[in-house]
Amino acid sequence: QVQLVESGGGLVQSGDSLRLSCAASGFTFRLFAMGWYRQVPGKERELVAYISWTGGISDYADSVKGRFTISRDNAKNTVLLQMDSLKPEDTAEYYCAKSYGANSRDMGSWGKGTLVAVSS
């Protein structure tokens, strides 16, 4: 079955960088778009970044544009989220997600999340 395992979260200071990694298994990774989402308690989960199956199309939430970069390695079944210039408002649980198709933006499977905490 589909498994998505996030890693790389932690506690950092404002302005620092982190790189999140998602190891995917149980499906043909290279055929599916992927995404990173985040959620804070009491709020809905929100899209942070999206990447198409080839990596040729990516999209970001306005709040992270210019600071975060999503990438994928189809040979290693891995999707990455490079987060630079972190802000306290980036504090959240971050989730890796698998879409329903090559370019679909609807996500059907989720990891368990990794916590990112940014102190001011």
Tokens, residue 23: 């190891």
Work out whether the CA dihedral 62, 102, 73, 93 comes out positive or negative. Answer: positive
pLDDT computed for residue 72 by the predictor: 98
Tokens, residue 91: 């504090």
Q: Report the b/e string of 91-111 with b at 16+ CB within 10 A.
A: bbbbbbbbbeeeebeebebbb
pLDDT computed for residue 23 by the predictor: 98
| Residue ranges for the chain with pLDDT beneath 50 | none
Q: What percentage of the chain carries pLDDT values higher than 70?
A: 100
First to last CA, the chain: 40
**How many residues can be counted in the chain?**
120
Rounded CA-CA distance 62/7 in Å is 24
- For residues 82, 83, 85, 90, the Cα torsion angle rounded to the nearest 10 degrees is 170
